[in-house]
Amino acid sequence: MTDGSFLRRKLRLSRGRKSPTTTTNKTIKGSLMKSIAPLIFLPVCLALALFTGACNSTPTPTPPPPSAPPTQDWIAVENRMPQIGEPRPNFYVDGKVTTNRSNLQPRLTKTNPQGINTAILLLDLTIVDLGGIGTQDVSLRDVRYEERITRGQYSQVSILWEGNIIENIPVTIAN
């Protein structure tokens, strides 16, 4: 036999069989992957879920709770026009809230604590009873929030009623 035919024959015979070393290595690698796969897979999935949730910059408003008053005409404005004299608030949020008595006044206050995204201002809407006797009239009442902010501090305002988002308002720039 020539050297070439001997090698071909040896190669043909070895194709059908697995060497004991290869089988052992594959078994070790397989069992190692089965034991560490959950340790790698779980944190990666959690990080991905958190990342995709954090990238959602516009929270979708949930349907308002049944007790939330009807609202309309919301606007959020950052006023960048030059001011003369003592600096006044340069950011305001205006809206209208329906109440059923004249002594009930809507109020907007800054939610504490604010959310993770600092570009979104969270405001709590509450209805304050001013006391006394009020007339029984269902009407729209103006509500306003003012604050002095740095340029471009907020890009959106979310109005909350009892912890639920009832309105998302993009911030308008007034030049």
- Residues 6 or more apart in contact with residue 160 via CB below 8 angstroms: 111, 122, 123, 124, 125, 166
Query: Distance between CA atoms of 82 and 119, rounded to whole angstroms?
Result: 23
The CA distance from 31 to 36, in Å, is 9
Tokens 């929270």 belong to residue: 59
Which pair of tokens denotes residue 130?
A: 């001013």
Pick the more confident residue, 122 or 19.
Answer: 122
All residues at 6 or more sequence positions from 136 whose CB lies less than 8 Å from its CB, including other chains: 100, 101
Tokens 């809407």 locate to 125
pLDDT at 52: 56
Across residues 163-174, what is the average pLDDT? 95
What pLDDT digit, counting tens, does each position of 110-163 carry?
999 999 999 999 999 999 999 888 888 899 999 999 999 999 999 999 999 999
pLDDT surpassing 90 at residue 104: yes
Model pLDDT for residues 29-63, shown as the tens digit of each residue: 556 556 665 666 666 656 665 555 555 555 555 55
Tokens describing residue 59: 């929270």
Strand, helix or coil for residue 163: coil
Instruction: Please measure the distance between the N-terminal and C-terminal CA atoms of the chain and give it in whole angstroms.
Output: 94
